[in-house]
């Protein structure tokens, strides 16, 4: 991989051991994946924050680093709400370690904003290069915003943040962003069904790049849930939706001549399916998706906000509550800064007895482990809650979750 003189100086230790270590990580990845050079990034989002997942070894690794990040950088959710850990049932020893981790990141100039929806803080622009590591955020940035990021690990995202660059390979390269498998969904979907769809087809897609054709037009929140579940049950980092996502017409040059207008004026399906869609396809059993939403056992925790809730989702929850008080434990996970802008909405939820949690989530916090059965509205949480928390999980729509909570 080509390095400029400055980059070579860092690589050889001329700017200190931390930057040398970080450059070694970037160069090693670049060499493995055939990168030609390093490219500047606009922002980084760094995983490996919850003490539950990184433990003492991770804390020690971060604490040994020195220097300051070169681009805006935020963190993935941690193991507790910094302002409410006691009431979450987190013990003092865990909270102490978690604070140490956050301080170690802050020392490097990283903002202690712990969220898997960093695009609610600052929305990347089409074509921006990023180094993000939370899989749902990666999928959203690539697919919904048309920004470019690989699925970074915590250390490589941190390395990119400290150097201000990442290796030019994978999804940073336009030619690697073409869809390679088609999934036709022949019935309209709504709300949590998109997350359930991602849960069902993710394992079949693996790390492919699917293009979906839908009979319904998914909202941004529905795309967020689809991508999060695809990334969790498969290893998807980019998907396209015909007629919806910004790069749906990134196609090999010989197929580029047909314009958007022509596609949109036709019946949704026929023109694109003949000319544009990859021949490989996945047959979808829509009943498997619908069945997932029917399998409910009585939960003792209802947890929403995976990925962290948008303003629209908070409004949907408030609307479903209709001013009622919940009778079960209900968590809504949300990024702190995004939520603080919506203080009155948060107050309204809290008055209904909902626990609104900042900085953390039902999967990365050990506080969820004490429950038996969780009901969620997210395909990603459905996938991770059993393995990460040892808690049974079922999925319902937001309205069904709230009805269950008020029953
Ligand atoms: Fe975010 Fe936690 Fe879900 S990090 S995507 S809320 S598992």
C-alpha 348/C-alpha 10 separation (Å) is: 52
CB 330 within 8 A of CB 407: no
In the block, tokens 């908070």 appear at 314
Per-residue confidence in pLDDT tens, the chain, 407 aa: 999 999 999 999 999 999 999 999 999 999 999 999 999 999 999 999 999 999 999 999 999 999 999 999 999 999 999 999 999 999 999 999 999 999 999 999 999 999 999 999 999 999 999 999 999 999 999 999 999 999 999 999 999 999 999 999 999 998 898 888 999 999 999 999 999 999 999 999 999 999 999 999 999 999 999 999 999 999 999 999 988 898 865 554 444 444 343 444 334 333 343 345 787 889 999 999 999 999 888 999 999 999 999 999 999 999 999 999 999 999 999 999 989 988 999 999 999 999 999 999 999 999 999 999 999 999 999 999 999 999 999 999 999 999 999 99
- Distance from the Cα of residue 214 to its chain's centroid: 22
Q: What is the pTM of this model?
A: 0.93
Cβ(135) – ligand 1 distance below 6 Å: no
- Ligand 1 atom 6 nearest Cα: 306
Number of other residues whose CB lies within 10 A of the CB of residue 252: 8
**C-alpha dist (Å) from residue 101 to 65, 68, 175, 214, 352:** 12, 16, 38, 43, 33
C-alpha 105/C-alpha 90 separation (Å) is: 21
CB 44 within 8 A of CB 73: yes
Cβ(363) – ligand 1 distance below 6 Å: yes
Interior CA angle at 360 toward 354 and 361, to 5°?
65
CB 148 within 8 A of CB 160: no
- Ligand 1 atom 7 nearest Cα: 363
Q: Which two tokens stand for residue 384?
A: 């991770």
Cβ(307) – ligand 1 distance below 6 Å: yes
Q: Which two tokens stand for residue 128?
A: 């921006």
CA of 321 to the centre of ligand 1 (A): 23
Pocket test for ligand 1, best of 45, 81, 116 (most atoms within 8 A of CB): 116
Helix (DSSP H) and strand (DSSP E) numbers for the chain: 16, 13
């Amino acid at each position: 991989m080509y390095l400029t003189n400055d980059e070579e100086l860092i690589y050889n230790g001329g700017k200190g051991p931390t930057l040398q270590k970080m450059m070694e990580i970037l160069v090693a990845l670049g060499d493995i994946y055939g990168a030609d050079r390093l490219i500047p990034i606009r922002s980084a989002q760094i995983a490996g924050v919850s003490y539950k997942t990184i433990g003492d070894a991770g804390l020690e690794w971060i604490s040994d680093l020195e220097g300051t990040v070169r681009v805006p950088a935020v963190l993935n959710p941690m193991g507790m709400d910094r302002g409410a850990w006691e009431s979450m049932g987190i013990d003092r020893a865990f909270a102490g370690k978690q604070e140490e981790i956050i301080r170690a990141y802050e020392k490097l100039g990283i903002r202690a904003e712990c969220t898997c929806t960093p695009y609610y803080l600052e929305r990347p622009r089409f074509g921006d290069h990023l180094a993000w590591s939370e899989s749902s955020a990666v999928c959203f940035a690539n697919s919904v915003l048309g920004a470019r990021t690989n699925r970074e690990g915590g250390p490589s995202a941190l390395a990119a943040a400290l150097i201000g660059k990442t290796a030019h390979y994978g999804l940073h390269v336009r030619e690697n962003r073409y869809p390679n498998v088609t999934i036709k969904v022949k019935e309209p979907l709504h709300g949590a069904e998109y997350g359930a769809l991602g849960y069902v087809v993710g394992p079949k897609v693996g790390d492919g790049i699917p293009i979906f054709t839908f009979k319904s037009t998914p909202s941004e929140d529905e795309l967020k849930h689809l991508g999060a579940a695809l990334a969790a049950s498969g290893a998807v980092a980019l998907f396209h939706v015909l007629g919806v996502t910004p790069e749906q017409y990134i196609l090999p040059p010989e197929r580029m001549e047909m314009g958007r207008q022509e596609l949109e004026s036709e019946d949704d399906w026929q023109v694109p399916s003949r000319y544009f869609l990859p021949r490989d396809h996945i047959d979808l059993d829509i009943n498997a998706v619908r069945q997932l939403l029917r399998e409910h056992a009585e939960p003792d925790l209802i947890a929403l906000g995976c990925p962290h809730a948008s303003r629209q989702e908070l409004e949907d929850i408030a609307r479903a509550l209709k001013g009622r008080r919940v009778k079960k434990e209900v968590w809504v996970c949300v990024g702190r800064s995004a939520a603080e802008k919506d203080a009155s909405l948060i107050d309204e939820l809290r008055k209904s007895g909902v626990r609104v949690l900042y900085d953390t989530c039902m999967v990365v916090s050990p506080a969820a482990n004490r429950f038996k059965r969780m009901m969620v509205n997210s395909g990603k949480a459905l996938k991770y809650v059993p393995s990460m928390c040892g808690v049974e999980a079922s999925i319902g729509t937001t309205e069904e979750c709230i009805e269950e909570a008020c029953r």
